[in-house]
Amino acid sequence: MAPISEEDRALIAAAVAKAEAASDGEIVTIVAPRSDAYHDVALHYAVLLMLLVPAFWGFAPQSLVDWVAALLLGWNAELSRELVMLYMFVKLAGTFLVVRILLAWMPLRMALTPGSTKSRRVHRKAVELFRASCELKTRGRTGVLLYLSLAERRAEIVADEAIASQVEPEIWGEAMAILIDEVKAGRPGHGMALAVEKIGAVLVPILPPRADNPDELPNRLITL
C-alpha cells in the first residue's frame, strides 16, 4: 500500500477546508494502517487445526498408523495407552505452535481473516474514533468522520446527529466507492480528497453555512 505523502496531506486538508467553507459541517479524516491485530483470528485457526489432528488419526488407515508407530518406536514396539496419549499431546501442541508462528506474519493473518470480520472491526474502530474526535465536538452536532483502514482496504463514514438524522447511510455510497477504488489503485491520499469532496456535496443542501462559520475541528489528516 502506497504511503500517505506530504502532498497527499496537503491535498486532503485543502479538500476539507473547501468542503467546510460551503456548509456548516465539520469533516475529520483519519487513516490507520489497520483496525485490529486479529490475534483472535490466529488463535481460532490454531485451535481448529489442532482439533483436526485427532480427527485425522481417528480416520487414518491402520497401515499408516502402524507405519508411523514403527518409524517412531521401532517395528517391534507395542503401543501402550501412555505412549499414545503422549504422542497425541505432542502432535496437538506442535500443530498449535506451528500455526501460531506462521500466523504471526501479518500479511498471512490478514489474508486468512474473513472479509466480514474485517468489516466489523473497521466499523467498530470507526465508531470509537468518531466518539473521540467528532461526537459532541461541534455546536450543532455537525461532525463527520471519514475513516480509512489501509490493511483491510475498507472505509467508514460516521456522522453526528444533525447529519445522520437527514442522510441515509446509502447516500455515502459514492464517496465510499471512489475512495476504495483509489485505495486499490494505490492512491489512498487522492481517494481521501475525492471522498471529502463527495461528502461536502452531500452536506451543502442540508447544512448551509451560517453567517459565522468557525472551523471547529482540525482539517489536517490524522494518521494513527
Position 160 scores a pLDDT of 84
Burial 170-209 (b: 16+ CB within 10 A, else e): eebeebbebbbebbeeebbbbbbbbbbebbbebbeeebee
Provide the 3-class DSSP secondary structure of residue 113.
coil
pLDDT band at 69 (very low <50, low <70, confident <90, very high): low
Provide the 3-class DSSP secondary structure of residue 222.
strand
* Per-residue pLDDT reduced to its tens digit, 176-213: 888 888 888 888 888 889 999 888 888 888 877 777 76
Which grid cell sits at 97?
505452535
Question: Which of 25, 13, 29, 12 is closest to 213 using CA atoms?
Answer: 25
Assess if residue 1 is contained within a domain: no
* Per-residue pLDDT reduced to its tens digit, 28-46: 999 999 999 999 999 999 9
Q: Is residue 72 scored above 70 in pLDDT?
A: no
Q: Is residue 21 scored above 90 in pLDDT?
A: no
Assess whether 97 and 130 both reside in one domain. no
Contact 195, 183 (CB under 8 A): no
59 is in which domain, residue-wise? 39-111
Query: Looking at residue 128, which CATH number applies to its domain?
Result: 3.10.310.50
Assess whether 176 and 131 both reside in one domain. yes
Number of domains in the chain: 2
151 or 61, higher pLDDT:
151
Assess whether 63 and 129 both reside in one domain. no
